[in-house]
Chain A
Amino acid sequence: MPEIEKNIKDKEIIERLEEGEYKYGFTSDIETETIGKGLSEEVVRTISQKKGEPEWMLEMRLRAYRHWLTLAPPTWAHLTIPEIDFQDIIYYAAPKPPRKLESMDEVDPELKRTFDKLGIPLEEQMALSGVAVDAVMDSVSVKTTFKQTLAERGIIFCSISEAVREYPELVRKYLGSVVSYADNFYAALNAAVFSDGSFCYIPKGVRCPMELSTYFRINAAGTGQFERTLIVADEGSYVSYLEGCTAPRRDENQLHAAVVEIVVERDAEVKYSTVQNWYPGDKEGRGGIYNFVTKRGVCRENARLSWTQVETGSAITWKYPSCVLAGDNSVGEFYSVAMTNNFQQADTGTKMIHLGRNTRSRIVSKGISAGRSQNAYRGLVRVAKGAENARNYSQCDSLLIGDRCGAHRVPEIVCRSRSAVVEHEATTSKISEEQLFYCNQRGLSTEDAVGLIVNGYAREVLAKLPMEFAVEAQKLLALSLEGSVG
């Protein structure tokens, strides 16, 4: 094939790759109860009142709100964020009727269809696959399964609103203890207006027998999502928690500012896995979710916290799941695949804060940029004074597809310990012509070859996901490449 034709073909492949349509771009028509747009002390009070919260919770919200008023959105990330009018957002939306449901039959059929389209196995097959789902439709939890099984072991897995009512002492003890409302602009906003989310408590010495899973989904148009997740793994316990996101197609940008707090007590272990596939906007860069998330966990003595994330969605991602290794011998891990396409922007990474002695952390970050997207890894490894024998190993790779995207790496290391060892490595690669030719020669289409190579590149991270999730994530990566030439 002549050179020029070939170039055109390559260009087509890359362009079609950029066009991979958003599979879950549909909206469901559910009657939604909302309050008006805008944010004020009154709105915060209304949210708290609608949720029937105790006085102390309202106080927490108001403190956060008042602090938020003094803050400005952060600008240090490698992101171009259009100015957000925080008064133009609806801060509360709940699907009707928000009453308690005993079985699937009571669930709004339209809502059920939405879940089915997403392939969320909410019904009886859930029992077989061993996954308990606390499905969040907009802001209020609709249905929780497996509560019974979990309850037998003393595991609490419910919506955070329910937890505020049923387990106030636990919530009061831990909420805001890892991510304070003063942490950053979005964390303050979330603390003031969070609508719902999940609460999980694993009692001492209990190994949670199943993967706990929450599917988030934004629905009502123009509704900001302010999820709040609190996971407490008491001494010697274990839990694997899955969070998966899909959102319907929207032309209007939607703000999502979630907070996830994890407390890993002595000898406990938490695995937190995310597959994030919010609507990324169309190929012209219109619409898409703004995903500004604060995720952090604290590890006590001998505890272990492992974050695994596959990020393919959102127009803008601002997210740094972090570990505070407070206890001696604690371990933090961060495994990430962040894929951006078209006009998507991602600034994501992690912070590993070594405070205790013999603490260890490991970071594996795989960035994939295509189209005109910008993909940044931002990391901080901080070894505090007294964190003797701390160890960190970081590996941050970038894969570029096409010559109009950008890949950026901002890994910071701050070390104040004479016995620490911190290592960081990074490489940049592209999909080579030779690799494509080799795969083509074995009968694979270029599209399949690209999917295969990308999955191979991300393998180390995908392998960290629970099995079913890994399969889903692999599909998601290939899906984002759908439409390339056969």
Chain B
Amino acid sequence: MGFSDYMLSDSCRQSAGSELRFDGGQAAPVAVCNPGRLSVAVADGAQARLVLSHGAGCCSTVDVAVGDGASLSIVELFVGGRSTMRIAQGAASRVALTSVVAGDGSAEYRTALDGAQAECDLGCVFLAGDDEHAQVKIRVEHNVADCRSASTVKGVAAGRGEGRFEGMVYVAPDAQRTDARQTSRNLTLGDEARITTLPQLEIYADDVKCSHGATVGQMDSDAVLYMRQRGLSEDAARRLQIEGFVADVVMRCAVEEAGEALLAELNAKLERL
């Protein structure tokens, strides 16, 4: 059972090129396959959940407007495809995103924090198998004071795969007391694999907390040894480690029910790496 099927079983299917409005009260996730051009509006104070799935060859543009005090959880899965999502957040709104790019695919997010006290938490995973190209781009704009953003992006590249993360945190003049964090963690699993990570900051205000961290590394060999000593095969131990590496993003899935389906999709992908 695929990710989108799983989600569709208890929600409505939307065709491409449509509009979604959440006026409150609707808590169940809405799953959209290959959304094409989609615009989503969450009314002031409303809560909503959105699940999107992208397949090979599809190219989507999603515009999301989150009203004052509204909250939106988004889950996206890419088994191929490209998408650009533009999110505009009102005051005291909250967006939580979990996105997985499994294989070829490109996920791009442009979040504008336009109202004070807006918050966003973005969690992304990309997995590039042999000859695949997976990328995640995130731009978070702190346009006003007192907003918080956190992005965590985990990437894995195997075989001759190529994974790429481009991040940008922009802090506008006068966007004081901004709290912006950006983390990029990556694994390369082969000598032909390639990881590129570019976590950028552009800051025009002085009273801000901005941090970014990026790592590219290998698996902890002591941990593998330890697991093997407990009877796991080396392959199993390594896989378990990689699973653990990406799972913590998925575990905090913005739409809880989708988490397991995402994990299943990820593990299936990891099997094939």
Contact = CB atoms under 8 A, between A and B. Distances in A.
A403 B145 CA distance: 13
B153 interface: no
Nearest to B219: A418
A422 B217 contact: yes
Nearest to A385: B191
Interface stretch (A40-48, A246-254, A292-300, A426-434): A426-434
A139 B214 CA distance: 43
B216 A410 contact: no
A179 interface: no
A421 interface: yes
Contacts of B195: 413-416
A401 interface: yes
Given A406-B203, A430-B207, A415 B216 contact: yes
A413 B216 contact: yes
A417 B197 CA distance: 14
A468 interface: no
Contacts of A427: 210-211
Nearest to A402: B206
A410 B214 contact: no
A393 to B, nearest CB: 10
A418 B201 contact: no
A423 B214 contact: yes
Contact of B217 (A402, A420, A428): A420
A59 B174 CA distance: 55
Contacts of B174: 403
Contacts of A428: 201, 203, 208-211
A345 to B, nearest CB: 14
B209 A406 contact: no
Given A415-B195, A417-B191, A418-B188, A406 B217 contact: no
A20 interface: no
A426 B213 contact: yes
A465 to B, nearest CB: 27
B200 A413 contact: no
A234 to B, nearest CB: 33
A402 B206 CA distance: 6
A419 interface: yes
Given A412-B197, A430-B207, A424 B176 contact: no
Contacts of B208: 400, 428, 430
Given A421-B218, A426-B211, A428-B211, A415 B188 contact: yes
A297 to B, nearest CB: 23
Interface string A375-414: 0000000010110000000000010111111111111111
Contacts of B176: 403
B216 A421 contact: yes
B192 interface: yes
A420 B216 contact: yes
A414 B196 contact: yes
B190 A418 contact: yes
A407 to B, nearest CB: 5
A425 interface: yes
B75 to A, nearest CB: 28
A352 to B, nearest CB: 13
A423 B212 CA distance: 11
Nearest to B199: A411
B215 A424 contact: yes
B210 A424 contact: no
Interface string B181-201: 000001011111111111111
B56 interface: no
Nearest to B214: A424
Interface residues of A, number: 35
A402 B211 CA distance: 19
Contacts of B199: 409, 411, 424, 426
Interface residues on B, range: 35 or more
Contacts of A413: 195-198, 214, 216
B205 interface: yes
A404 B173 CA distance: 7
Contact of B191 (A405, A414, A418): A418
Contact of B215 (A409, A421, A426): A421
Contact of A410 (B192, B198, B209, B217): B198
B204 interface: yes
B5 interface: no
B68 to A, nearest CB: 26
Among the interface residues A406, A418, A421, which one has the most CB atoms of the partner chain B within 10 A? A418
Contacts of A409: 199-201, 212
A413 B165 CA distance: 10
Contact of B206 (A386, A405, A412): A405
A410 B203 CA distance: 12
Contacts of B212: 409, 411, 424-426
B216 A403 contact: no
Contacts of B260: none
Interface string A427-448: 1101000000000000000000
B211 to A, nearest CB: 5
B107 to A, nearest CB: 19
Nearest to B180: A428
Nearest to A424: B214
Nearest to A381: B216
Contacts of A407: 201, 203
Given A386-B191, A418-B191, A423 B215 contact: yes
Nearest to B213: A425
B10 interface: no
A412 B214 CA distance: 9
B202 interface: yes
A416 B193 contact: yes
Contacts of A410: 198, 200
A406 B198 contact: no
Given A402-B206, A423-B213, 12 more contacts: A385-B191, A398-B203, A406-B204, A411-B199, A415-B216, A418-B190, A422-B215, A423-B215, A424-B215, A425-B212, A427-B210, A428-B210
Interface of B: 173-174, 176, 186, 188-218
27 contacts: A386-B191, A400-B205, A400-B206, A403-B173, A403-B176, A405-B204, A411-B214, A412-B197, A412-B198, A413-B197, A413-B214, A414-B194, A414-B196, A415-B196, A416-B194, A418-B188, A418-B189, A418-B193, A418-B218, A420-B216, A421-B215, A423-B213, A424-B199, A424-B213, A426-B210, A427-B210, A430-B208
